[in-house]
Chains A and B, each alone.
Chain A
Amino acid sequence: MSDNNERFGAPGTFVLAIIFIVTFIALYFLNYKYLASIWELR
């Protein structure tokens, strides 16, 4: 049986990883948005 009181050892890094992922998604999206704006489908 797992110990429910055992805490994740690196919660700060987890938050940093989430910030990284959000930044990644935002920049990826912005790049595709930029591509769509200069190479429009008609």
Chain B
Amino acid sequence: MAGQDFRTCPTTGLKVHLPAENLIKANAVAAVLLLLIGGIAAAGVALTRWPAIHLLPADWFYRILTLHGLAMLIAWIIFFEIAALYMGASVLLNSRLAAPKVGWLAFLLMVVGVLLIAVMVLWGQADVMFTSYPPLKANPLYYLGVILFAVGALIGCLLFFATLYKARKEGTYPHGSFPLVTFGLACAAMIAISTLIHGAAIYIPAFLWSLGFMGMDPAAYRLVWWALGHSSQQINVAAMISVWYLMGTLTVGMKPINQKLCRTAFVLYVLFINVASEHHLLVDPAISNAHKIWNTGYVMHLAVLASMIHALAVPAGIEVALRKKGYTSGLFEWLKKAPWSNPGFSATALSIFIFGFMGGITGVTFGSEQVNITAHNTWRITGHFHSTVVGGTTLAFMGATYYILPLIFRREVLGMGWAKLQPWFYGIGMILMAGGMMLAGAYGIPRRHWDIVNFGGSPFAFTWDPTVYMWLSVFGIGALLAVVGGAIYILVTVGTVFFGRKLE
């Protein structure tokens, strides 16, 4: 191990491979930039869907909605996850990154891909929304952008596994098996590889279709696309839970209460989550009932079981750690005395609550074939996935950032007072926003629609129960709070990177 390529973090004692550190920084900066773009788009979407404001015209609403979906659900999260993968394989295992130049190639492909996507969308050449269901057709460069981004991410995942192999071969970490966080990230990377292969299987034909070289079966597209679309969110879940374990360790000194059980739960994700993606197609007439029921009535629950195990294991680990510190009075002294003023802890705790109580419960309920008929294509679905991906994953990643800044960027967090408030703004905003969406959706408010009051002057306009407008206002207020929380995160992060006091 050549010492000059490494530095030792004075706080954690971890050895940081400098080329890996540069790649982690690049991917993290790209992630935050994409979060900024996606967040601005989110404000535009929310202020349009809130009928009291109804900000954007129809064409720009769908354009900005497409940009919001891709910037947030794909770009911000996957750039951050690639940074997390390099950190989990290199920094946590005291290892060199196997091939930093390959990492830069992956980064370049992802940046070029995301730029192509953004330009095409903003140019009005890809008003196809996140799912890009045929017969909606975008400019071929849009599909090419998605393919380049996916290839870059795939290379990043393979580099992660190459680094794990190198670390094991060189014996850079003390124990026989990888730490739980790295194990969880490895499961996320395995799901990512499967997901990205499905992405190639559908976006390469879509690219050729957009060039006029072949036809496209919309039913086949939907089936294969969701093996990308939902599985990509399952990468997020596995990565988010890995971050929960990491943050539990960093904030309160938690140790997993049962390593084997936690690892088994991660493996359940790898084995069962892809097939469960079919719950998006429960009302699709092209697929048989037997197929749907097997995949979503049986297989899906094995992946749900994994989430239930983690949702018990993480808080239990935190409780055990805090009880060891002396907070043993009654059932909940540990919870009252937990470090709520630490933004890393509060973000993690809010993430667990929002993911479990809002996202998890609604996900299983709406994923049931019978109930799905009442929820499909309503705003209940949008409320569900904002609870999982935003209230869960994004908030957990935001909490982790407050530890990545000193460890990787070697800067003291600037504006810690604001940082302490940030998870609360974002978390409570997301609870109100997603809750408002789900309750308005229960009255039938459709997802994605530009004008739910007059339906764009359609003769099929519908008069809603007046209660709906109260839930739409709850949504709007929540969205504004979340935008404030997101803005504080961006300001604190960017301010720290450029102006934070240098450490070491």
Partners in one complex: yes
Q: Tell me the A residues contacting B by CB distance below 8 Å.
A: 9-13, 15-17, 20, 23-24, 27-28, 31-32, 34-35, 38-39
B475 partner residues in chain A, CB cutoff 8 A: none
Find out whether the CB atom of A15 lies under 8 angstroms from the CB atom of B331. Answer: yes
Residues 428-444 of B at the A interface (beta carbon under 8 Å)? 442
Find out whether the CB atom of A10 lies under 8 angstroms from the CB atom of B316. Answer: yes
Q: List 5 A-B contacts (CB under 8 A).
A: A9-B320, A10-B257, A10-B315, A13-B319, A31-B374
Inter-chain pairs besides A27-B365, A35-B374, 12 sampled, C-beta below 8 Å: A9-B257, A9-B323, A10-B315, A12-B319, A13-B315, A17-B311, A20-B357, A28-B361, A28-B364, A28-B368, A35-B370, A35-B371
- Knowing A10-B257, A10-B320, say if A31 contacts B371 (CB, 8 Å): yes
B334 partner residues in chain A, CB cutoff 8 A: 12
Residues 317-374 of B at the A interface (beta carbon under 8 Å)? 319-320, 323, 331-332, 334-335, 356-357, 361-362, 364-365, 368, 370-371, 373-374
Total contacting residues, chain B, CB less than 8 A:
24
Q: How far is the CB of A25 from chain B (nearest CB, A)?
A: 10
Q: How far is the CB of B209 from chain A (nearest CB, A)?
A: 37
Task: Summarize B's interface: helix, strand, loop or mixed.
Answer: helix
- CA of A27 to CA of B320 in the docked complex: distance in angstroms? 30
Question: Is B204's CB within 8 Å of the partner chain A?
Answer: no
Q: How far is the CB of A22 from chain B (nearest CB, A)?
A: 11
Find out whether the CB atom of B364 lies under 8 angstroms from the CB atom of A24. Answer: yes
Find out whether the CB atom of A9 lies under 8 angstroms from the CB atom of B316. Answer: yes
Q: Tell me the B residues contacting A by CB distance below 8 Å.
A: 257, 311-312, 315-316, 319-320, 323, 331-332, 334-335, 356-357, 361-362, 364-365, 368, 370-371, 373-374, 442
A31 partner residues in chain B, CB cutoff 8 A: 365, 368, 371, 374
- Knowing A20-B356, A28-B365, A34-B442, say if A12 contacts B332 (CB, 8 Å): yes
| Closest partner residue, chain A, to B370 (CB atom) | A35
| Closest partner residue, chain A, to B331 (CB atom) | A12
Q: How far is the CB of B437 from chain A (nearest CB, A)?
A: 15
| Closest partner residue, chain B, to A37 (CB atom) | B374
